Amino acid sequence: MSDFLNNYYDLVFWFLKVIGGNPGGYGMGYYIANFLIFVFIQPGLIMLFFILWKIEKKKNRENT
């Protein structure tokens, strides 16, 4: 299990570096990728799912 987690972490770490434009090492690209993911994408997805949940909840209330 530990090997799986280490490999998964390494894969995600590499992917973040590639997104950031610096596949050879650390740099501002990695930090920019983290910033984009955790400041824009994650909160955006949370808001999207919250809005979809509220719409479905309203539809369910109207049908009963």
User: What is the pLDDT confidence band of residue 55, given thresholds at 50, 70 and 90?
Assistant: very high
Which residues constitute the domain of residue 37?
2-63
| pLDDT in the model for residue 23 | 58
Other C-beta atoms within 10 Å of 27: how many?
13
Contacts of 51 (CB under 8 A, 6+ apart): none
For the chain, how many structural domains are there in total?
1
Mean pLDDT for 6-26 is 78
User: Whose CA is closest to 31, among 16, 45, 43?
Assistant: 16
Tell me what the mean pLDDT of segment 22-38 comes to.
73
**The model scores a pTM over 0.75:** no
Lowest-confidence segment of 7-11, 14-18, 23-27, 30-34 by average pLDDT? 23-27
- The 3-class SS string of 11-43 reads HHHHHHHHHHCCCCCCCHHHHHHHHHHHHHHHH
